Amino acid sequence: MAKNANPKLIGGFAVGAIALLVIGAFAFGGGNFLKPQAKAVLFFVNSSLSGLTVGSPVTFRGIKVETTTVLYAEPLAPQPGWERLADPLRRHATRILKTKIPVKGVPLYTDARHYAARKIPIVLYGAGPRTILEANAHNANENLRLNDLKAATKIVALAVRDVLMKG
């Protein structure tokens, strides 16, 4: 016959386990999970930030903002050789979309700028709307039609083939 479990022993084990979890949370988390966490907001400006120092009072669109860190990033800039990448994209996009696709320089703060800083030619091409405004980019209702994605996939694949074939 099996021996009945001791309820006091099981209860003591459960209470001990919960106590260890609470102690561990405070020990490893420093109790910070009970304190309000700071919210980080990142925004980009295409103008000078001279005179902005950490801790200086800033008002942005009528809201007082506390500055804790200022990061400076160079926007993406064209590098020699970009035409070799852009021309096949434009040629295939014009044929498939049946509209002329202009080359447009936009000072984006994209990760591709790290390649450009090393003098590697960069071209950004995306599916869908032609402007950030039209796409509602980085908003909750950002969208992309599947037909646009399919066309862009075909355009990029053909352009990559052309670039690789020319060596």
Domain ranges of the chain: 82-166
Residue 120's closest CA among 166, 76, 67? 76
In this structure, of 32-46, 90-104, 150-164, the range with the lowest mean pLDDT score is 32-46
* H or E element, residue 90: helix 82-97
82-166 has which CATH code?
Answer: 1.10.150.900
**CA neighbor of 151 nearest in space, from 86, 94, 74, 71:** 94
Q: What are the tens digits of pLDDT across the range 112-158? A: 778 888 888 888 887 777 666 776 766 777 777 888 889 989 999 99
Cα end-to-end span (Å), the chain: 81
Angstrom distance (rounded) from CA 158 to CA 119: 24
pLDDT tens figures, 28-40:
666 565 555 555 4
